[in-house]
Structures are given as C-alpha cells and as structure tokens.
Amino acid sequence: MKIWTIVAVLTLAIFYNQSVIIANSGTAVVNTASLNVRSGPGLTYPVIGSMKRGESVDILSTSNDWLEIRLGASTGWIASWLVTSEESLDNQPKNIISKVNALNIRTEPSINAAIIGQLSAGEEALMTGQTDKWVAIQKNGIDGWVYADYVTELVHQQTEKEEKIESESREKSVEKIASNVEQDQLFTVSVDALNVRKKADLKAKKVGLVHKDESYSVIESDGNWVRIDLGKKKSGWVYSFHGYLTGKKDDSLRHDSKTTVTVLTNGTNIRSSATTASEIVTRVNAGERLPVVKEDGDWYEIALESGDTAFIAKWVVTTGDEELQKKEQPKNTVARAAGTLNGLTIVIDAGHGGNDRGTTGSRGTDEKDLTLLTTELLSAKLRAAGANVVMTRESDTYVSLRKRVSIGHQAQADAFISVHYDANLDSSVTGFTTYYTQTSQKSLAEAINNGLDGAINIRNRGAQPADFLVLRENKQNAVLIELGFLSNPSEERILKTDLFREQATHGIYQGLLEYFDGSQ
C-alpha cells in the first residue's frame, strides 16, 4: 500500500512540474527553411544538427515550448513554434485579425520578450505558427508573436493579386527598415555562438561564426536580420534577436592630441578595428598613456607611434587627469577593527542584466531580476559594516563579462563577489555552490560558503573550482556564488522570498568577516 502511495505522489509531482510530458506525443512537420536541433530545451544549448522545411519528426516528449525528437541514434530538441503538427496541416494560408487595439507583437512567445510592434483592432497579419497560448505572425516583413486570446483566425485562398500586394508590402517594409538603420551602430552577440550567413536567410551559406560579447559594426538591416562587418573586407548576416544594438558611433567626438587614456592591466590588446574578433596589432601594459583620435561606440581609436591608428576597448582603460591620479596613487589603507569591513573595497557583481536574462525558473522567475535584488541588499549590509562597495550594475542593464572584471581591477577590490542563481536540466537538483578558479581564491570561497551554510536552509554543495571568466581573468580575490536552483520548483519558491535574500546576504556578510578577520 505504501509503495503505491509513493508512486502516486511521484506521478503527481511529475505532472505538477510540467517539465516533461508523456512520450510519443505525435508527429510534426518543419515549417521554416532551416531548423536547428539542440542538445537541450532552450536557445542556450549547443546546436547538434539541423532540419529543413517539410521534414517530418516523431515527438518523444515536450518541455514548455520545446519538443524532444529522434535524431539518428540519439535525441535532440527543437522549438515547437517552428513546426506544425501533421494533423493540423492545411495547404491554405492563414491570416489572423486582431480583436483589440495596441496588441503587442513580441520577439518570442513570452510576455517578457521584447515588443517589436503592435496591431490595431481589425488589422490582419499572416499566421506562420502556433503554440498553446501564442500565435506566430508575419507583418510587414517582420516575424513576431501575439497572444492567441486577442486574435481570431481567418482561412482563405490568396489570389495572385493578394500575393503580389503582400510581396510588395514586404519589400517596401524592408526598404523602410534599411533606410532607418543607424549604419554606425554596433551589434553585440548575446548567445554563446552565432552563425554568420551570406544572405539574410537561415538556409544561406555560413560565412563565419561570432561569439558572446563580441561587437561588430552594422552595415544594414533586412527585417529581423542585420549585416555586420567582420573586418578584412568581409561581412555577413546574423539574426538580430541573438544580440543587441548599442550606441551609434559618433565621428564628431574627436579629441585633440592632449586627450589620452591610461591602460589598466598588463598585456592589453590593441586591435585593428573596433571589435574583439579583429586582429591584434600590439599589446600594451598597465600605466601606458595612449593618445585618443576619436570614440567609436565602446572603443577608442588611438594613435600609434608608427603614425597608424588602432583600437582599444573602453573597459580596459581609464580617462581624465583626476582618475589617472587616483589610479597612480597607492590604495589608502585604513586600520580595520575585527568584526568590521572598514577600509575594504568590495565589488558586488549582479549576474546578467538587460538583454541577458540569465536562467528563467520553472515558475517564470528571471535570474537577472533576482540577482539585482540580492546584491542591492548585500550592498546595504556591507556599507553599514564600513566597506567601500562598488556595484558592476545598479539597474537592468547589460554589462559585458570583461567590463565587470575591469571594474574590479580599477577599484583595486579586496574582494569581488559575483551573485547568480543556478539551473539544471534535472529539476530535482538543489542547493547553493560557491565557486573559485584560482588557488588564491579558494580561502575566500570557503569562508563565504561557511557563512551561507550557517544562514540558509538549503543543501550546501560546497566550495568548488570552476572555469568562469569573471574568476579566471580576475587579478583580484574573486568568487562566484550560485544561490540555489531556479529550475527546481520548490527551491524557486524559496529563492524568490524576501526572507531568503535576507538570510543569504547575511551569510555572505558573515563569510567576508570570517575571511578578513582570519587574514589579519
């Protein structure tokens, strides 16, 4: 009897989580030119294969808006909004009409996705796909998503005349978008790896690969695609939803020869163009002053002794005489009494932000929001204890990983604390972890982990080594904390509470006291 009770409880738990539904859910047909097959249910998982329009697949299981399919001898995952169930296939094109005014068109089937347009009441759009609650549409050459409850579907056979009008409308839309593009904008990649293609089409030939945090000059736009400058007279197209556009280059921001920037770290790269993917011209060391020719987005164009110009990233230099003097002076040391943080500089890094939402919990919690709430509370505690606190971000903005490290270097931080929340494909995994990369960081990681262990009531996964850029590239004493798993529904409920954040930040504070008191 007890065994059957346990089975029943486990069964209910599986359905309550809704992360995986019963296998053999039917078949579907690819309804886009090219469809990536990924190793897991999300855009952040590696691409392990691809499929073409019209190919049929067997659905093994589902996870939210993702479908697990058979891929050769193994399995993979595809986006459900890019396929159509065979049972619902219909040769007739479908249009939808908005039932309300100002219906938002979003980049993804989520209320948290970016808004890229609106439909007025009675306005039509071409329907290209559907999930349970969202409808994929195409309007004026732009692809997006609208909430299904606010539209009604029309089915009719397009005439030759209608097809021509629609085609012309798309062409005019593309021309309009292209004419409005800030051609001096920069496109920064926000996913781990992104294919660059010869044309603005998923089935076009691949001409390159770009990576997360790399920035490229934008040449033109075509619907949801942007053409970027790869350097050495090469260019290609990328899907714009996998990155973001940053500030316009301003050629008017020219400086006289007296304006200089000062390098913050040894071995800093000087590049041939304003992108981290371009060729390294030379390297310079901390303290060197470089004359600025002009600003170029997140870069400075500088003059070299040879008479040529090159580029250096803004996040690896400092500007202005006041800042320079501050940098050249040794850090002031203040006598610190045990049990306080007087005279210490602590950099607090709220993970993710802006276009980078981090992980999203099973109950819809965005990691970027939770890390900011946590670090704000931690900052208040540390300042009250006498620390000089520097935040890498204080709002919902994107900050590159290397910029975060540079902030720690410039502040000459006594400790760099990066705060995150974790996720795992196995939703049963729970607990907090404190990570370090360099041996010199291990003592700080262990002290903070001990502080958390005495403050929060979730599983302690210990202080562990890991290869994170903000730790690996950091010359300061740095740790990265994962404060529990948002992928676990029960733990997510705990992590979202004010009480947990209060306890967790107190634990980190106690860990810092333990570390610095022990270092005296």
For residue 205, is it within any domain?
Answer: yes
Buried-exposed string 475-509: b where 16+ CB fall within 10 A, e elsewhere: bbbbbbbbbbbbbbbbbbebbbeeebbebbbbbbb
User: 183 — phi, psi (to 5°)?
Assistant: -70, -10
Query: Closest Cα partner for 414 from 378, 381, 389, 377?
Result: 389
Can you tell me the distance from the alpha carbon of 16 to that of 267, in angstroms, rounded to the nearest whole number? Answer: 53
Write down the pLDDT at residue 462: 94
For residue 102, is it within any domain?
Answer: yes
For residue 18, is it within any domain?
Answer: no
Beta carbons within 10 angstroms of residue 218's beta carbon: 23
**CATH code of the domain covering residue 104:** 2.30.30.40
Residue 319: pLDDT band (50, 70, 90) is low
Write down the pLDDT at residue 153: 67
Instruction: Please tell me which of 149-153, 203-207, 340-344, 461-465 the model is most confident about, judged by mean pLDDT.
Output: 461-465
Query: In this model, does residue 492 exceed pLDDT 80?
Result: yes
Are 158 and 93 spatial neighbours (Cβ–Cβ below 8 Å)?
yes
Can you tell me the distance from the alpha carbon of 317 to that of 309, in angstroms, rounded to the nearest whole number? Answer: 17
Can you tell me the distance from the alpha carbon of 399 to that of 305, in angstroms, rounded to the nearest whole number? Answer: 32
Q: Are residues 305 and 362 in the same domain?
A: no
For residue 480, is it within any domain?
Answer: yes
Of 6-10, 207-211, 513-517, which range is least confident?
Answer: 6-10
**CATH code of the domain covering residue 473:** 3.40.630.40
Rg (CA), the chain: 26
Write down the pLDDT at residue 141: 65
Query: In this model, does residue 2 exceed pLDDT 80?
Result: no
pLDDT digits (tens, 9 = 90+) for 86-102: 554 444 457 788 877 77
Chain-wide mean pLDDT for the chain? 77
Q: Are residues 294 and 394 in the same domain?
A: no
Buried-exposed string 118-148: b where 16+ CB fall within 10 A, e elsewhere: ebeeeeebbbbbbeeebbbbbbbbbbbbbeb
Write down the pLDDT at residue 206: 82
Residue 509: left if φ>0, alpha if ψ -120 to 50, beta else—which one? alpha
The tokens describing 54, both together, are 């019209």
Please count the structural domains in the chain. 5
Q: Are residues 442 and 363 in the same domain?
A: yes
Query: How far is the CA of 175 from the CAs of 12, 153, 169, 223, 248, in angstroms?
Result: 53, 29, 10, 9, 20
Write down the pLDDT at residue 7: 42
Write down the pLDDT at residue 118: 82
Of 199-203, 254-258, 337-341, 369-373, which range is least confident?
Answer: 254-258
Q: Are residues 403 and 494 in the same domain?
A: yes
For residue 255, is it within any domain?
Answer: no
Catalytic residue selected from 446, 482, 492, 514: 482
Q: Are residues 353 and 500 in the same domain?
A: yes
- Quick one: average pLDDT of 24-40? 75
Q: Are residues 64 and 126 in the same domain?
A: no
Q: Are residues 470 and 400 in the same domain?
A: yes
pLDDT digits (tens, 9 = 90+) for 431-440: 999 999 999 9
Single-letter amino acid, residue 247: G
Q: Are residues 274 and 233 in the same domain?
A: no
For residue 13, is it within any domain?
Answer: no
Beta carbons within 10 angstroms of residue 96's beta carbon: 24
Q: Is 124 a catalytic residue?
A: no
Q: Which of these three, 283, 299, 327, is where a domain ends?
A: 327
Q: Are residues 76 and 142 in the same domain?
A: no
For residue 157, is it within any domain?
Answer: yes
For the chain, what percent of residues have pLDDT higher than 70?
77
Query: In this model, does residue 331 exceed pLDDT 50?
Result: yes
Q: Which of these three, 134, 160, 180, is where a domain ends?
A: 180
| Residues forming a β-bridge with 478 | 416
Residue 495: pLDDT band (50, 70, 90) is very high
Q: Are residues 114 and 157 in the same domain?
A: yes
Of 205-214, 245-254, 452-461, 508-517, which range is least confident?
Answer: 245-254
Residue 519: pLDDT band (50, 70, 90) is low
Q: Are residues 360 and 464 in the same domain?
A: yes
Which domain, by its residues, includes 425? 345-519
Residue 102: left if φ>0, alpha if ψ -120 to 50, beta else—which one? left
Q: Which of these three, 161, 180, 199, is where a domain ends?
A: 180
Residue 445: pLDDT band (50, 70, 90) is very high
Q: Are residues 505 and 382 in the same domain?
A: yes
- Quick one: average pLDDT of 496-517? 92
CA dihedral 305, 307, 310, 316 (to 10 degrees): 30
For residue 5, is it within any domain?
Answer: no
Query: Higher confidence at residue 189 or residue 515?
Result: 515
